[in-house]
Amino acid sequence: MKKWIPVYLCFLASSCNKPLPDYSNQPFDYTVSGINDTTVAANDYVFIHPNVTLVSGDAAANPITLTFKGLPTGVYLDNNGFSFRLNHYLSDSFGAHNAAQGVYPLQAVFNSAAGIKTYNFNLTVGPPVNRVANVTGGFYPESSCWPGIYVSCEIDSVPGTPGKIMIIDRISPDEASYGTYDTSYGMVDCCSNTFVIPSQKVLGVTVSGYGSINSVDGTSKGGTLTRTFISDTATYTCIVTLYQN
């Protein structure tokens, strides 16, 4: 048995050290997968993750340019027509801004030393997300604009006016009692959970501003509200962080 042991060990050593094939001297080529039909809301965005895998050749010396063709009006990509090298994690997003609903045939065109590779797929623009519903509700600030004064903020939709909201401030010395201080009106952006308060007169004071509401978890939301108040004697800006129970 002893005379067979060196032969067996030598066989193992030669098998473990066998070099992998060298693909760098072969023609550059790659494969693409993950270009599938996808759907985006008319005022939202969706991420896409094509898989591009090197087959052979020198990846560092052969950039690939990806271009999407056939985008409908109102749909865009942040990085359309960009170049990358393998192996690269590829991620992009289709964003829609008041896009018309429908099914649109698109092409993903990959251009490199390996030639042009074209992949067809459909982009469906679906119904818009209800952004007003995302920003309305009762909110409470984590800070106050005035020392010793407790302020809450109620954001409601305006019936019959798409995208319009009311911002109702309630002001009092403590949490136990509220009095209506002012009501201003704003518009929710179609494609984000943000809103704008156009300049307007409220109880003799000019009010303007903007805000954003972001989901915190499944049952509560938080955000920020920034407003500028201009009276006959002073101008000041109020910035509060909002949260919702």
The rounded distance, in Å, linking the Cα atoms of 6 and 97 is: 72
Partnered with residue 213 across adjacent β-strands are 223
CATH topology of domain 22-126: Immunoglobulin-like (2.60.40)
SS (H, E, C) the chain: CHHHHHHHHHHHHHHHCCCCCCCCCCCCEEEEECCCCEEEECCCEEEECCEEEEEECCCCCCCEEEEEECCCCCEEECCCCEEECCCCCCCEEEEECCCCCEEEEEEEEEEECCEEEEEEEEEEEECCCCHHHHHCEEEEECCCCCCCCEEEEEEEECCCCCCEEEEEEEEECCCCCCEEEEEEEEEECCCCCEEEEEEEEECCEEEEEEEEEEECCCCCEEEEEEEEEECCCCEEEEEEEEECC
- DSSP-assigned beta bridge partners for residue 152: 170
The label of the residue with tokens 């959970």 reads: 193
Hey, do 22-126 and 131-243 end up sharing a CATH topology, with the first three levels equal?
Answer: no
- Taking only the tens of pLDDT, the chain with its 245 residues reads 444 444 333 333 333 444 545 666 789 999 999 999 999 999 888 988 899 989 999 888 999 999 999 999 999 987 789 899 887 678 888 999 889 999 999 999 999 999 999 999 999 999 988 888 888 888 877 766 655 556 677 888 988 888 899 988 766 555 555 555 578 899 998 888 899 999 998 877 888 999 998 865 556 788 888 888 888 888 888 888 888 76
Domain boundaries, the chain: 22-126, 131-243
Q: d(Cα 177, Cα 101) in Å, to the nearest integer? A: 47
> The domain 131-243 belongs to what CATH superfamily?
Calycin beta-barrel core domain (2.40.128.20)
